[in-house]
């Protein structure tokens, strides 16, 4: 079997590894700058889509389908992001006689429209956040509709995703301005200006359920993940089992996820996302792809979700039943981003002069870059993920902290120090958090402590033996000043 992978970074590496274990050929379809990444080096074959921006490469359905045909692929894995939730892409592949590794184009289209997905949840008897999905065309009536839900409310794009274009409205007087701005953003980002209004929950948690189906109609769940720790609606910490869910809630939320999946005639990997408010949960959306955080489920349930995706796509039956799936221990994932936490988390680009991911007990590093690779401004700033497992959550937080202390990413700014700071936050340790936790705790950003004298000596040693941008440092009056300002300083303290 030949598997084309239309993606980059750590997820492309993850899929190639699954192909290797299955004995299938992996063919990486990649953009020009992505020649300097791990996936390019380890794929069996590569095929270049000339260009840099995602819109000119990974998002071009016509050129991607052509590439898949040219490399004589049998199966196509879209990873996540890019074309992974694009029904037209799944359809185009099927029409070209290739197998899309994911659900049917019909399920993707259904889930991709948040209004249709909500209607599906209603039909399946799954609770949803109170909402208005049929906004009137008369502005006065729109305001009355919003009032009937009550403020605060949130305006969302029907075709939305990636946390983009959501607007919270706290009072009457802000309503029209936010409605207008949400529709405008929705049109620009998703090509459709349709929006809807939902009750805004002030301090919810984000709980999601991993579901999986085969083409014979069997459906299972792999329990929940908690992804409450988010910054600007983007997940950063993900764990399973959720420390906020007891056995009876777990049972009902997993059953609700399966009811929804059944109503959507779902197959392959999917995630049903919920908001948890107290002990009540509400369906939010169905993600029709592999999630970034699938890793924690893999560790706790002892399953390879990517291999399973590839097998199920070929029509094979799920090789086990629900009773065979159990949760063992605790897994935690953190996302390592190329960003400068001291400067409002701005993306940081440049050469990774050194990447060291030391082995240790129950550590997994899913990374897409090695020493010498470049972080470019063209794509998502995620460099990789660190995942740890331990028998208890308490032990696992300590294991993750120790692992991050060993994790070396030099040459650009990363959020590693920030991740460590969150790990030792007492509220996080005690699970006294909501989706707004990071935005509240770090209202003024995060500035890492300056290096200790011992660390400084180490940094100086490293700099003097490095191939890095020394010229930049020669002009600085004191080594300390140079180090504190250098792009190395923060990463060294990791």
* Shortest reach from residue 205's CB to ligand ADP, in Å: 9
Distance CA 221, CA 457 (A): 51
* Shortest reach from residue 175's CB to ligand ADP, in Å: 16
Q: Any idea which residue has 């129950």 for tokens?
A: 362
* Shortest reach from residue 131's CB to ligand ADP, in Å: 8
**48 DSSP β-pair partners:** 30
Per CB under 6 A, 285 contacts ligand ADP: yes
Question: From the list 122, 216, 233, 280, which residue makes contact with ligand ADP (rule: CB under 6 A)?
Answer: 233
Contact stretch for ligand ADP (CB under 6 A) within 24-32, 196-204, 294-302, 384-392: 196-204
**99 DSSP β-pair partners:** 75
Which region holds residue 443: left if phi is over 0, alpha if psi is between -120 and 50, else beta?
alpha
Per CB under 6 A, 273 contacts ligand ADP: yes
Task: Give the active site residue among 8, 231, 289, 363.
Answer: 289
Q: Rank residues 273 and 373 by Cβ distance to ligand ADP and give the closer one.
A: 273
* Shortest reach from residue 142's CB to ligand ADP, in Å: 18
* Shortest reach from residue 233's CB to ligand ADP, in Å: 4
- Binding letters toward ligand ADP, positions 396-415, x by CB under 6 A: --------------------
Which region holds residue 97: left if phi is over 0, alpha if psi is between -120 and 50, else beta?
left
The set of residues, in sequence order, having a beta carbon less than 8 Å from that of 201 and lying 6+ positions away, is 129, 275, 277, 282
* Shortest reach from residue 149's CB to ligand ADP, in Å: 10
Spatial contact of 237 and 216, defined as CB atoms under 8 Å apart: no
Per CB under 6 A, 225 contacts ligand ADP: no
Structure tokens at 166: 């959501």
The set of residues, in sequence order, having a beta carbon less than 8 Å from that of 386 and lying 6+ positions away, is 333, 334, 336, 363, 364, 365, 400, 403, 404, 407
Check the CA dihedral 279-284-289-293 and report its sign.
negative
Per CB under 6 A, 241 contacts ligand ADP: no
* Shortest reach from residue 272's CB to ligand ADP, in Å: 11
| Total chain residues near ligand ADP (CB under 6 A) | 20
Contact stretch for ligand ADP (CB under 6 A) within 142-150, 178-186, 199-207, 214-222: 199-207
Structure tokens at 185: 């953003």
- Binding letters toward ligand ADP, positions 434-473, x by CB under 6 A: -x--------------------------------------
Tell me the three state secondary structure of residue 219. strand
Helix axes 305-313, 9-22, angle to 10 degrees: 70
Sheet with 153-157: strands ordered across: 131-132, 195-199, 153-157, 167-169
- Compute the half-sphere exposure of residue 206: CA atoms within 13 Å on the CB side of its CA: 22
Question: From the list 86, 230, 348, 489, which residue makes contact with ligand ADP (rule: CB under 6 A)?
Answer: 230
Question: Hey, which residues between 126 and 185 contact ligand ADP (CB under 6 A)?
Answer: 129, 154, 160-164
Distance CA 231, CA 236 (A): 7
Is 17 among the residues known to form the active site? no
Question: From the list 8, 206, 351, 420, which residue makes contact with ligand ADP (rule: CB under 6 A)?
Answer: 206
Residue closest to ligand ADP, measured at CB:
435
Q: Which positions are annotated as active-site residues?
A: 289
Site residues, ligand ADP (CB under 6 A)? 129, 154, 160-164, 198-201, 204, 206, 230, 233, 273, 275, 284-285, 435
């Amino acid at each position: 079997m030949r598997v084309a992978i239309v993606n980059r970074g750590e997820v492309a590496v993850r899929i190639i590894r699954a192909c290797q274990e299955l004995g299938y050929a992996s063919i990486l379809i990649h953009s020009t700058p992505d020649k300097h990444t791990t996936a390019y080096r380890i794929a069996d074959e590569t095929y270049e889509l000339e260009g840099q921006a995602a819109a000119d490469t990974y998002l071009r359905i016509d050129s991607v389908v052509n590439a898949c045909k040219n490399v004589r692929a049998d199966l196509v894995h879209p990873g996540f992001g890019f074309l992974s939730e694009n029904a037209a892409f799944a359809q185009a592949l099927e029409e070209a006689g290739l197998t899309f590794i994911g659900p049917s184009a019909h399920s993707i289209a259904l889930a991709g429209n948040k209004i249709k997905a909500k209607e599906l949840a209603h039909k399946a008897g799954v609770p949803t956040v109170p909402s208005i999905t049929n906004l009137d065309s008369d502005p006065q009536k729109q305001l009355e509709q919003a009032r009937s839900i009550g403020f605060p409310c949130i305006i969302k794009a029907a075709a939305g995703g990636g946390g983009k274009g959501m607007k919270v409205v706290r009072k009457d007087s802000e309503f029209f301005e936010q409605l207008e701005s949400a529709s405008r953003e929705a049109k620009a980002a998703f090509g459709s200006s349709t929006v809807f209004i939902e009750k805004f929950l002030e301090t919810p948690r984000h709980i999601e359920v991993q579901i999986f189906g085969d083409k014979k109609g069997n459906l299972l769940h792999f329990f929940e993940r908690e992804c409450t720790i988010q910054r600007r609606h983007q997940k950063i910490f993900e764990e399973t089992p959720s420390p906020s869910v007891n056995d009876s809630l777990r049972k009902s939320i997993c059953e609700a996820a399966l009811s929804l999946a059944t109503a959507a005639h779902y197959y392959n990997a999917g995630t049903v996302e919920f908001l948890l408010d107290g002990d009540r949960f509400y369906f939010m959306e169905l993600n029709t792809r592999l999630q970034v955080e699938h890793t924690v489920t893999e560790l706790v349930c002892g399953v390879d979700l990517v291999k399973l995706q590839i097998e199920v796509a070929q029509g094979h039956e799920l090789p086990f039943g629900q009773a065979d799936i159990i949760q063992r221990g605790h897994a935690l994932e953190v996302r390592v981003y190329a960003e400068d936490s001291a400067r409002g988390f701005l993306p940081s680009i440049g050469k990774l002069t050194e990447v060291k991911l030391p082995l240790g007990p129950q550590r997994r590093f899913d990374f897409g870059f090695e020493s010498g690779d470049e972080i470019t401004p063209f794509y998502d700033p995620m460099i990789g993920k660190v995942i740890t497992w331990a028998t208890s959550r308490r032990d696992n937080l300590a294991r993750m902290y120790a692992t991050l202390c060993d994790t070396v990413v030099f040459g650009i700014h990363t959020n590693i120090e920030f991740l460590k700071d969150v790990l030792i936050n007492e509220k996080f340790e005690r699970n006294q958090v909501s989706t707004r936790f990071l935005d509240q705790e770090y209202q003024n950003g995060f500035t890492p402590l300056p290096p200790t004298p011992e660390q400084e000596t180490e940094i100086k040693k490293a700099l003097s033996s490095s191939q890095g941008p020394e010229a930049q440092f020669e002009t600085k009056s004191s080594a300390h000043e140079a180090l504190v300002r250098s792009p190395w300083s923060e990463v060294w303290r990791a």
